[in-house]
């Protein structure tokens, strides 16, 4: 029998709910990518019997774009594992990130995920959650916010999907993905502070928990019983958030848990 947390005040059962972000599943098949995928697959195997719900807070892929009749081939084992989780009764919520350029119908209709653009707000009992990838939330990230309006609007997506073949499109994607690594050169200490300020604003709006990604810096901060977590990443940190019905915690995946 699966473990559940009994919320006496709410009269409901809650299984562990997991939150991950920034796996950046790559086109490459090198040692780092193999390690990432192995760890992610072992984590997904582990939570299969320990959860009813998983939240993926963006940048699952280094680049994701669905053409009318074509999807990228590189991540079939991961997508197959997600489908197995869905078939076993796990609800998977996917909030898109800045590397998830265009999510069409495939992930929802064929894999069974529920996809959201930008963020999601939801309640568990009396607790109010705000979850998002977090791209563009830093005050100084004006350049990205301007670029996003251009490359993510419906006209740009239509042109890319209609007039650029999938093979050429993926070659362009590899270049774009590589150039985006300049993100690693920013002053993340400043952004960490700004993301916490964003979270505190959400606390003032009535949210109890704010969970973000994008920064690749696992972070947890508490204010008067309200909690902000940045999930970190699945490249170097292999970190994740978990809500057990009582507490929201930040954790690091160790394969020996399996």
Buried/exposed code over 21-48 (b: 16+ C-beta within 10 A; e: otherwise):
bbbbbbbeeeeebeebbebbeebbeebe
Q: Is pLDDT at 28 greater than 80 in this prediction?
A: no
What sections of 182-235 are H helices per DSSP? 188-204
At residue 83, the 3 state secondary structure works out as helix
Q: Is pLDDT at 11 greater than 60 in this prediction?
A: no
180's enclosing H/E stretch is none
First to last CA, the chain: 17
Rounded CA-CA distance 143/212 in Å is 20
Q: Which residue has the higher pLDDT, 71 or 241?
A: 241
- The average pLDDT across 155-178 equals 68
What does the pLDDT look like over 87-135, one tens digit per residue?
999 999 999 988 777 778 889 999 999 999 889 999 999 999 999 998 8
Rounded CA-CA distance 146/91 in Å is 33
- The average pLDDT across 35-56 equals 94
Which residues have CB under 8 Å from 174's CB, separation 6+? 27, 63
- What the chain holds in terms of domains, given with CATH numbers, is 15-257 (3.60.21.10)
For residue 142, the model assigns a pLDDT of 59
**Which regions of the chain does DSSP assign to beta strands (E)?**
5-7, 12-14, 16-20, 51-56, 91-95, 114-116, 119-124, 127-132, 209-212, 219-223, 226-230, 239-243, 248-252
Rounded CA-CA distance 58/61 in Å is 8
Q: DSSP letter at 181?
A: G
For residue 149, the model assigns a pLDDT of 57
Tell me the pLDDT of the chain averaged across its residues: 83
For residue 97, the model assigns a pLDDT of 86
Q: Which residue has the higher pLDDT, 61 or 252?
A: 252
* Residue 243 in tokens: 């809500």
For residue 245, the model assigns a pLDDT of 92
- Provide the residue count of the chain: 258
Q: How confident is the model at residue 136 (pLDDT cuts 50, 70, 90)?
A: confident
Q: How confident is the model at residue 2 (pLDDT cuts 50, 70, 90)?
A: very low
* pLDDT above 90: percentage of residues in the chain: 53
At residue 167, the 3 state secondary structure works out as helix
Q: DSSP letter at 61?
A: B
CA distances from 24 to 102, 112, 216 (A): 15, 20, 11
Q: Is pLDDT at 157 greater than 90 in this prediction?
A: no
Q: DSSP letter at 207?
A: -
What does the pLDDT look like over 171-213, one tens digit per residue?
766 666 654 555 555 667 888 999 999 999 999 999 999 999 9
């Amino acid at each position: 029998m699966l473990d559940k947390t009994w919320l006496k005040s709410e009269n409901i059962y809650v299984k562990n709910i997991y939150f991950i972000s920034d796996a950046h599943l790559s086109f490459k098949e090198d040692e780092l990518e193999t390690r990432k995928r192995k760890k992610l697959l072992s984590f997904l195997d582990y939570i299969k019997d320990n959860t009813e719900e998983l939240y993926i807070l963006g940048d699952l892929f280094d680049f994701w774009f669905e053409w009318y009749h074509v999807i990228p081939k590189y991540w079939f084992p991961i997508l197959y594992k997600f489908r197995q989780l869905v078939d076993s009764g796990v609800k998977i919520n996917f909030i898109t990130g800045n590397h998830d350029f265009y999510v069409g119908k495939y992930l929802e209709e064929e894999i069974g995920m529920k996809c959201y653009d930008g963020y999601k707000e939801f309640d568990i009992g009396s607790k109010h959650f705000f979850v998002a990838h977090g791209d563009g939330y830093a005050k100084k990230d004006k350049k990205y916010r301007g670029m996003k309006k251009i490359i993510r609007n419906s006209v740009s997506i239509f042109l890319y999907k209609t007039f650029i073949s999938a093979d050429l499109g993926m070659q362009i994607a590899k270049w774009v993905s590589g150039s985006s690594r300049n993100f690693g050169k920013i002053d993340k200490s400043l952004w960490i502070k700004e993301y916490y300020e964003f979270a505190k604003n959400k606390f003032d709006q009535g949210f109890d928990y704010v969970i973000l990604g994008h920064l690749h810096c696992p972070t947890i901060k508490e204010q008067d019983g309200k909690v902000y977590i940045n999930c970190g990443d699945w490249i170097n940190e292999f970190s994740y958030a978990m809500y057990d019905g009582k507490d929201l915690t930040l954790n690091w995946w160790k394969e020996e848990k399996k």
